[in-house]
Chain A
Amino acid sequence: MRLINALISDIKFQSKQGFYLVYVIITAMYLIILSLLPENITSIALPLVVYSDPSVLGLFFIGGIIMLEKGQGVIQVLIVSPLTTGEYIVAKVISLTIVSVAAASAITALSFDGALNWAVFLVSVALTSGIFTLCGVVINAGCTTVNQYILKTIPYMLLLVLPCFSILGSNLLYPLTLIPSVAALRLMLGAFSETVWYESAALILYLFMANFLLYKYAVKVFEKKTVYQD
């Protein structure tokens, strides 16, 4: 119940801050861009668009959200509130994932009529969003300004995004799939192509595990650096 209340309050907050409105505008923008591309390029560009924007929006917003709530004293209240740190973070991750999934689904449904495994696609967006939002929670620790947060995300983004180019290369680079961002991109591209089911299943399982471990780490870092400010 506590988690549901926190989730509802986060969704209300995000709606008030204009998240949904801004993603309507961004979705329209992508639809215009994708409509210009020939169909054979859309099937490659679309998963890249979904992966690079709606799926990672959590990383962009979570820093500002936590900093604002810290300034408002919300985080300090966590210490005496029945809401646990884990529930606080899960509510943030789920609420931002909802925006991600909604935007990704709208962009895809309105711009692509080819073969697509919707179940794998939606799971890949949700799991990617979880990973990037949790990374944001970790990156945010110790930041006092948004510019500081933006700067701190750059090396993390490079570490997570550069290995994704390995997908273009030979099969020898397949072990880089151990990096969660590469696994997430592979899963998303797989939803648009005829990937064997056991590869998708293995990637989903792996990303679930990555999310869980990252969640544990994010809670630890968040409690230490943000709540108790060691």
Chain B
Amino acid sequence: MIFFTHYKNDVRQVFRDPVMGILIFAPFLMIALFKIIFFFLPPFLISRLSFDISPFYQYILSGIIVMISGMMGIVTGFLMIDERDGNISELISVTPLGKSGYLINRLSFAALPSLVYSIAAILFLDFVSVPKLNIVIISILSSIYSAVIGLLIYSGADNKVKGLTFAKGLNSLSLFAFSDLFALAWLTIISWAFPPYWVTMVIKNPQSTPVALIAIAIHLVWLLTLIFRYLKSR
């Protein structure tokens, strides 16, 4: 109950702060922008460079989902860093909400919008047909990934600049969503350990239960490890 009261107040506070409000809604604009880009880009590439981009649509969809959930994670990570700098997180941790309540509260800021945006991206961009069950799985993976990114930035960076450096470096993780394309065995093997690879795999193998289970397991291992690290710290 306390969690929901806090969450309701926090959501109200976020919407009062235009910066956070716009950042939370920015992915909607990004999805619309991608829709426009992919309306004009394929014919342009074929006419100018004789390059057909359509065989890569599954990878592009995965890249967009990973990018949006990564962005939500980055916003949440910086929100938490700012709150740590202002000692707000410390104050909340001594309220009945507690340290874990604060963490769940903040991570759900990243996870819930990511859940919605990944569904919106799949349905609105309509690049590839994804079965309903897979849409659900991908949206869950996307929300976990956003929480993972938020936690990685928060726990890895002890100041804003390091946070920016981390955010920049973490963008490189998106590469793993495309690693199959490079036909480099070592890169594919490394990719197995990273969530973005499995988002692509779930999109590419809609009927495979083992792929879906491994994807969820890898995401959960990252999330739980980081939560454990967070709760152990301080």
Interface stretch of the complex, out of A80-88, A140-148, A172-180, A181-189: A140-148
Closest to A40 in B: B49
Q: In the complex the two chains form, is B164's CB within 8 Å of A145's CB?
A: no
Q: What B residues does A60 contact at CB under 8 A?
A: 164, 168
Q: Distance in Å from the Cβ of B136 to the closest Cβ of chain A?
A: 30
A36 contacts chain B at the CB level, 8 A cutoff? yes
A25 contacts chain B at the CB level, 8 A cutoff? yes
Q: What A residues does B78 contact at CB under 8 A?
A: 145-147, 150
Query: Could you give, for residues 70-108 of chain A, a 1 whenever the CB lies within 8 Å of some chain B CB and a 0 otherwise?
Result: 010000000000000000000000000000000000000
Q: What A residues does B49 contact at CB under 8 A?
A: 40-41, 44
Task: Please report the total number of A residues contacting B with Cβ < 8 Å.
Answer: 31
Q: In the complex the two chains form, is B159's CB within 8 Å of A68's CB?
A: yes
Q: In the complex the two chains form, is B175's CB within 8 Å of A29's CB?
A: yes
A65 contacts chain B at the CB level, 8 A cutoff? yes
Report the Cα distance A83→B178, complex, angstroms: 47
Q: In the complex the two chains form, is B169's CB within 8 Å of A147's CB?
A: no
Q: Distance in Å from the Cβ of B110 to the closest Cβ of chain A?
A: 12
Q: In the complex the two chains form, is A36's CB within 8 Å of B161's CB?
A: no
Q: In the complex the two chains form, is B164's CB within 8 Å of A64's CB?
A: yes
Q: What B residues does A44 contact at CB under 8 A?
A: 49
Q: In the complex the two chains form, is B82's CB within 8 Å of A26's CB?
A: no
A171 contacts chain B at the CB level, 8 A cutoff? no
Report the Cα distance A123→B228, complex, angstroms: 48
Q: In the complex the two chains form, is A146's CB within 8 Å of B81's CB?
A: yes
Interface stretch of the complex, out of B18-26, B124-132, B217-225: B18-26
Q: In the complex the two chains form, is A146's CB within 8 Å of B85's CB?
A: no
Interface of A is mostly: helix
Q: In the complex the two chains form, is A22's CB within 8 Å of B165's CB?
A: yes
Which 3 A-B pairs have CB atoms at the shortest separation, nearest pair first? A64-B164, A22-B169, A64-B160
Contact A147 to B182, CB < 8 A, known contacts A26-B172, A67-B160: no
Q: What B residues does A147 contact at CB under 8 A?
A: 19-20, 23, 75, 78-79, 82
Contact A68 to B168, CB < 8 A, known contacts A147-B20, A151-B23: no
Q: In the complex the two chains form, is A17's CB within 8 Å of B19's CB?
A: no
Q: What B residues does A57 contact at CB under 8 A?
A: 168
Report the Cα distance A221→B144, complex, angstroms: 41
Contact A32 to B51, CB < 8 A, known contacts A26-B168, A68-B160: no
Q: Distance in Å from the Cβ of A132 to the closest Cβ of chain B?
A: 14
Q: What A residues does B22 contact at CB under 8 A?
A: 151
Q: In the complex the two chains form, is B164's CB within 8 Å of A151's CB?
A: no
Q: What A residues does B166 contact at CB under 8 A?
A: 18, 22
Query: Could you give, for residues 31-63 of chain A, a 1 whenever the CB lies within 8 Å of some chain B CB and a 0 otherwise?
Result: 011011000110010000000000001001101
Contact A151 to B160, CB < 8 A, known contacts A26-B172, A36-B181: no
Task: Report B151-182 residues with CB < 8 Å from chain A CB.
Answer: 159-166, 168-169, 172, 175, 178, 181-182
Q: What A residues does B181 contact at CB under 8 A?
A: 36
Q: Distance in Å from the Cβ of A99 to the closest Cβ of chain B?
A: 11
Q: What B residues does A148 contact at CB under 8 A?
A: 19
Q: What B residues does A41 contact at CB under 8 A?
A: 49, 51
Q: Distance in Å from the Cβ of A166 to the closest Cβ of chain B?
A: 15
Partner of B162, one of A17, A33, A63: A17
Contact A29 to B172, CB < 8 A, known contacts A64-B161, A146-B78, A151-B23: yes
Given contacts A26-B168, A41-B51, A64-B164, 9 further A-B contacts (CB under 8 A): A18-B166, A19-B165, A22-B168, A36-B181, A36-B182, A57-B168, A145-B19, A146-B163, A150-B75
B187 contacts chain A at the CB level, 8 A cutoff? yes
Q: What B residues does A40 contact at CB under 8 A?
A: 49
Report the Cα distance A150→B23, complex, angstroms: 9
Partner of B160, one of A26, A33, A146: A146
Q: What A residues does B231 contact at CB under 8 A?
A: none
Q: Distance in Å from the Cβ of A41 to the closest Cβ of chain B?
A: 6
Q: In the complex the two chains form, is A32's CB within 8 Å of B165's CB?
A: no
Contact A32 to B182, CB < 8 A, known contacts A17-B161, A65-B161: yes
Contact A145 to B82, CB < 8 A, known contacts A29-B175, A65-B161, A151-B23: yes
Q: Distance in Å from the Cβ of B35 to the closest Cβ of chain A?
A: 17
Report the Cα distance A26→B168, complex, angstroms: 8
Q: What B residues does A19 contact at CB under 8 A?
A: 165
